Structure 1
Amino acid sequence: MEPITLSVRLDDLDTNGHVRGPAYLVYADHARWVTAEAAGAGQALLNARGVGPVNLETTIRHLAELRAGDRVTITSTYEWGTGKTSRIVQRLHRQDGVAVAEVSSVCGLLDLTERRLVPDPAGFWREHATRPGLLGLA
């Protein structure tokens, strides 16, 4: 998937003038949704299939400041295993190429009726996405 580029908004800033922690999570979530849509498995398809993505654990590593007027580019790497969860590592860079953060998330796919994780999320995405390669699936 092509990287996603966003502009830092003034309401993303804390009192020190740099991007606050929760904004990094919003950037990462936005990039994941854009990728899911591009892969042909966006919100409408997930709703129709009765499932929804869930974050089970998220870690942010702050590496450099991101400030008002900056543009941030997010790249996402999907790591699939054989269990109910996967990992998505997202790297955020300023327009000058400096790495500003890494967001790492353990994710699952929740069956909204059973309220349990789908046993093979990679299989679900392979079956339903029109372009599963964008999600790191062959």
Structure 2
Amino acid sequence: MSEREPFRIQIKVRMYELDMLGHLNHAVYHSYGEVARIEMLERAGGGSTSFGEQNISPVLLSSTINYRSEIRMGETVDVTCDTRFGSGKSFQMELFIYKADGTVSADITCTVGLMDLDRRKLVDDPRSRFEQAGYDLKVLSTAE
């Protein structure tokens, strides 16, 4: 039995995303992470990130990045995203940005919660909220 792979997307580096050193601007790494998180949520949610009647939405609480290898103009990178649910109101999303040769260019760890949009507070048990809203938990997390 093989271990499941996390959600993965490809992104091509554009010229306007480079800094004055000719490699990917530091902030763009975070943007690539955001693209992967949103794409994963859409896929897990059947094409939508809506929680329907629950009136809740994912909210990014923190993001930490480790830069490992530069990315340059014209490269295509793979960005993976995997969710780790715990017992609290927040959960972790772990992302890796890979160069075409498999080299890890960066890793990003995000703390995320689900916010009640009326109360402006995090909801309890985000994993069960995803499940109640019909999200495919196997797309969100390799641990499912």
Measure the CA separation in 1 of the matches of 2:71 and 2:52: 34
Counterpart residue identity of residue 17, structure 1: G
Q: 2:14 aligns with which of 4, 9, 12?
A: 9
Note the C-alpha offset of 1:46: 3.2
Q: Which residue of 1 aligns with 2:28?
A: 23
Counterpart residue identity of residue 61, structure 2: L
Counterpart residue identity of residue 64, structure 1: S
Counterpart residue identity of residue 8, structure 1: V
Q: Which residue of 1 aligns with 2:109?
A: 104
CA deviations 1:67-108 (Å, max 9, x no partner) are: 111111011121110100001110110111111000110110
Counterpart residue identity of residue 19, structure 1: L
Note the C-alpha offset of 1:3: 1.1
CA deviations 1:11-60 (Å, max 9, x no partner) are: 111111111111111111111111111112633x2365311111111001
Q: Which residue of 2 aligns with 1:38?
A: 43
Measure the CA separation in 1 of the matches of 2:52 and 2:110: 22
Q: Does 1:89 align with 2:94?
A: yes
Q: 1:63 aligns with which of 64, 68, 73?
A: 68
Counterpart residue identity of residue 118, structure 2: T
Runs of 4+ residues over 6 Å off in structure 1: none
TM-score, normalisation: structure 1? 0.92
Counterpart residue identity of residue 106, structure 1: T
Q: Helix, strand or coil: the match of 1:56?
A: strand
Measure the CA separation in 2 of the matches of 1:87 and 1:98: 23
Q: Helix, strand or coil: the match of 2:69?
A: coil
The number of equivalent residue pairs is 137
Q: Helix, strand or coil: the match of 1:124?
A: helix
**Percent of aligned positions that are identical:** 29
Measure the CA separation in 1 of the matches of 2:134 and 2:54: 12
TM-score, normalisation: structure 2? 0.88
**For structure 2, which runs of at least 5 residues remain unmatched after alignment?**
1-5
* Superposed CA RMSD: 1.6
Q: Which residue of 2 aligns with 1:131?
A: 136
**For structure 1, which runs of at least 5 residues remain unmatched after alignment?**
none
Measure the CA separation in 1 of the matches of 2:56 and 2:37: 16
